[in-house]
Structures are given as structure tokens and as C-alpha cells.
Amino acid sequence: MCNFTLELQHMDKKEILAIFNKKCKNTLMETLDMEFIDVGSDFLTAKMPVTSKVFQPYGQLHGGATAALAESVGSAASNFFVDHKNQFVNGIQLSINHIKSKKEGVVFATAKNIHTGRTTHLWEVTITDENDDLVSVAKMTNIVLTKK
């Protein structure tokens, strides 16, 4: 169960999603049309359309685009656990397995917390399609750093 920071604890779902989506402006997440769409006490979900923007040369969803989606959701989710005045989060490791190819539609990435330590967070990120079929599975480790 997430232990949201005080800042996020007192916001409703719409406000939290608006904050995350605003931070995507002028970033890779905006370029790839990623959007945070759901948040709960133990997860964060984003979606990304499968279009030519995210294709590899054979007209399928690029594994790197899928990895970018997984890392974006896993990194954002760690923000629920840090003191934003004094800390920030960086991804330090991402491992991803691709199960199914996609040529169209939408993929959804949901990050669920496995471990929340003082200095590291571990996330499992499942990527599914609009039919709830598994596309990829990722594990991501984030480090919590102190602002200088």
C-alpha cells in the first residue's frame, strides 16, 4: 500500500493525474503521446497509442518505446514516496521482457510497488493492450537522492 507524501495525500485522483501529465510537457512522454490515466493506493497507470511514432522498421511497437513507457510510469510512481522539498528520484535500472508484438491500438503500463526503501524503490510494471493481453513485463529500480 502506498504511503503517499503529505503533498499528494490530500489530493483527489484528478489532481494527481493532472500534476503528472503537466510534468510530461516538452518531454519524451509528450513526444510519444503518453498520458497518465489512473492512480490508486498501490498503482499508477499510463497509456500510449501504438502508432508509427513508436514503430520499429517492421511496423511494430518498438521495444525501446515500451521501455520508455515502463520507465516513465515507474519513475513517476516513486514520487509518491519522496519528500519533494528535499529529495528527487532517478531510475538506475530497468529490465524488460517483451511477450507480444503490437501493430495498432493502445498499450497501458501499470506500476506496482514491490519495495520502498529509504534510498531505493523497486517497481513491477506490466504493459497490456486494450484487450488486457500481456505485451511486456518490466522491473525498475529507482534511487532516492537528496537535493543539494
In a domain, 21, yes or no: yes
Q: Pick from 126, 77, 119: which is nearest to 99 by CA?
A: 126
Give Dmax over CA atoms of the chain in angstroms. Answer: 46
- Positive/negative CA dihedral, 58, 59, 64, 67: negative
In a domain, 51, yes or no: yes
In a domain, 83, yes or no: yes
Q: Which residues are annotated as catalytic?
A: 71
Provide the edge-to-edge strand list for the sheet that holds 87-98.
Answer: 35-40, 43-49, 106-116, 120-129, 134-146, 87-98
Residues 6+ apart with CB under 8 A from 62: 54, 55, 56
- Residues spanned by the domain of 33: 6-146
Total domains in the chain come to 1
Confidence band of 33 (pLDDT split at 50, 70, 90)? very high
The mean-pLDDT minimum among 17-26, 45-54, 58-67, 91-100 falls in 17-26
- Positive/negative CA dihedral, 80, 37, 35, 24: negative
In a domain, 1, yes or no: no
Average confidence (pLDDT) over 11-27: 91
> Tell me, what CATH number does 125's domain have?
3.10.129.10
- DSSP for 87-99? EEEEEEEEEEEE-
